[in-house]
Amino acid sequence: MVRRDNVDTFFQMRLTASPLVRSSGEMPTDHASHEERLTAAGITLPDAMSPAGLYVSAVMVGDMLHIGGHGPISEAGLVTGKVGDDLDVDDAYQAARLTGLQLLAAARDALGTLDRVVRVVKIFGMVNCAPGFNQTPAVINGCSQLMHDVFGDAGIHTRSAVGMAELPFDIAVEIEGIFQVIPD
């Protein structure tokens, strides 16, 4: 059974969230470097996290940088809990943004500079959901908006935003990313 209110909300969110096309029908342009845009926005990246197990944070394959799952870390520590129960959509959006900062820190650590990023190819976002919570796209928008803020049009990516029954350490979100980069 399709609930019409959910379908309308989903498509309205998709139409209003797309920064790709302006009302004039032109594609936006921006010539600032990614590092300059980051600085201008007042964004300070955290230190890149060390892996918590037997894996690496990032792997380069050709001109693609694959960044494994990262979680939200605030000044107070890990952001944990079930979205829709312990956290509301706004709190979870901020958790996804914090996670995006972790992805960017891992990318900078692997590349030396974010200016080597050609584009964000894909974001895969997992949300630690309470039963019945289905607004995962609104949560992962926190990361997607950050990517657009930092990379401009090159930050617009494909994406999955899925709900999970559990995530490691009860983190609110976990996000992976694939970035096309200028090879060494």
Delineate the domains of the chain, giving CATH numbers in brackets: 4-181 (3.30.1330.40)
pLDDT of residue 3: 43
pTM: 0.84
Contacting residues for 106 by C-beta, under 8 A, at least 6 apart? 48, 49, 57, 58, 67, 70
pLDDT of residue 30: 56
pLDDT of residue 167: 98
Low-confidence ranges of the chain (pLDDT < 50): 1-29
